[in-house]
Amino acid sequence: MLFRFTEIAIDTESSRGELQTSSAGGYVSFEGWVRDLNEGQEVTRLEYEAFEELAVKEGDRIVAEALRRFPVKRALCIHRVGSLGLSDMAVWVGVSSVHRGEAFDACRFIIDEVKHRVPIWKKEHYRSGDSGWVNCERCAAAPQHSHAELANHHHDRVALPNSK
Amino acid sequence: MNRDKAALKYHGKTQLDRAFELAGRHVTHVFVSVRADQTLDPTRAQRPMIVDSAGEGPIAGIRSAFAAHPKVAWLVLACDLPYLSDATLDFLLRRRDATVFATAYRSAHDGLPEPLCAIWEPSAAAALADYQTGGGHCPRKFLIRHGARLLEPHDTRALDNVNTPEEYRQAIATLDKAPMQLKIQYYALMREQAGRSEETLETSASTPAGLYEELVARYGFTLSRDQLKVAVNSEFSDWSRKLEVGDAVVFIPPVAGG
């Protein structure tokens, strides 16, 4: 399993252990944390919800794709679901490899694709008492934007070294 | 067609039984309106009844219902609407306007109110009595005269009734093909807007695109189709894929992982 969900805090120590192999000369990880400010609104907590059956399939495909594209040893992504407070870890990506360059590239590829493709939703609760589903409420008010266009507004896509 | 239309069978069930099952999914109590000479009729005898106490015809049935339970609103359904679906009733109930005498569909054929697939409010009882005392006998004319909240039907065939053996044959043939049962799951914003995380429903939509249109009419989803992706049986799918009985459909709002 290259991608999985957890309802409790991500255990980075044991997850990192899953990536260890004697042929790897290093490991790169990315942690996504709950931030207190988004688009000018003070955030107090988040709720993550996933369509897990499809999300684990798509997440697995993304990490498998990373393993094919980049000459790395092992890779893994873990995402939280449920209610998270400020500074809680929402997502963790780890990649081990012979050299650092491809580990950084693969790690970035995985987190970028996960944000774009995996059916996970985030509800932000604000200091003001309001709440909103990220990427859904404003698109609902501006239906002239297509899904693809919005994705491009909201996320920076990385240029992929091996993509055609 | 010289036959009791409530006793006509579809898939082995009488239309009366089908109507009871359907209505029972949307309201707390269901009754069949009968004339005094129908109380022993085998199609109706096992059902809770409202016996006509005020003249004849549908208007007597509605008035008798108000006489029996004056404080409640009545969802009035004719017993000869084989195409009636959960979606049609759900939409009617969601758009109910309790400040007028009734909430009804506009006929797809002549644009006039359909009084026998409508919600009648208790406030209509007195005016209905006056109307009948004054010689009126047509609930449709009553609604035209007094004004009702009228809804556009999204399925133009939903309220077609069966009057001839040919129409009966056609209804059986159509109902054999459709509707089909699908399982739908809702997530995030759509879960909140639908007020549920999943449901099994009958639809005559044959593609995810058609199904989404039906559900927008039902739940008022604010996301437009081009903002969504769709999954069938836990795999991403085309909007034009042909749906099969038992398919599990999930509409996927813009994602926000990480």
By residue count, chain B amounts to: 258
Contacts of residue A53 in chain B, CB cutoff 8 Å? Answer: 234
> What does pLDDT average to over chain B?
92
The DSSP line for chain A is: --EEEESS---HHHHHHTT--TT--EEEEEEEE--SEETTEEEEEEEEEE-HHHHHHHHHHHHHHHHHHS--SEEEEEEE-EEEETT-EEEEEEEEESSHHHHHHHHHHHHHHHHHHS-EEEEEEETTS-EEETTTHHHHH-TTS-HHHHHHHH-PPPPPTT--
ipTM above 0.85, yes or no: no
The contact set of A with B (CB < 8 A) is 32, 48-51, 53-54, 57-58, 79, 90-91, 111, 114-123, 133-137, 139-140, 143, 145-147, 150-151
Give the predicted TM-score (pTM) of the model. 0.60
Minimum distance, in Å, between the CA of residue B245 and any CA atom of chain A: 20
Rounded to an integer, the average pLDDT of A160-164 is: 36
- Report the topology of domain B5-173: Spore Coat Polysaccharide Biosynthesis Protein SpsA; Chain A (3.90.550)
Instruction: Look at B188 and A123 and tell me if their CB atoms are within 8 Å.
Output: yes
- Report the topology of domain A3-154: Aldehyde Oxidoreductase; domain 3 (3.90.1170)
Q: Where exactly does CATH 3.10.20.30 map onto chain B?
A: 178-252
Instruction: Look at B223 and A139 and tell me if their CB atoms are within 8 Å.
Output: yes
Q: Where exactly does CATH 3.90.550.10 map onto chain B?
A: 5-173
Minimum distance, in Å, between the CA of residue A92 and any CA atom of chain B: 9
Per-residue pLDDT of chain B (258 residues; tens, 9 = 90+): 778 999 999 888 999 999 999 999 999 999 999 998 998 999 998 999 999 987 788 999 999 999 999 999 999 999 999 999 888 898 899 999 999 999 999 998 899 999 999 999 999 999 999 999 999 999 999 999 998 999 988 777 889 989 899 899 888 887 776 568 899 999 999 999 999 999 999 887 889 999 999 999 899 999 999 999 999 999 999 999 999 888 999 999 999 999
- Superfamily for B178-252? Beta-grasp domain (3.10.20.30)
Domain ranges of chain A: 3-154
Instruction: Say what percent of chain A tops pLDDT 90.
Output: 79
Contacts of residue A118 in chain B, CB cutoff 8 Å? Answer: 255, 257
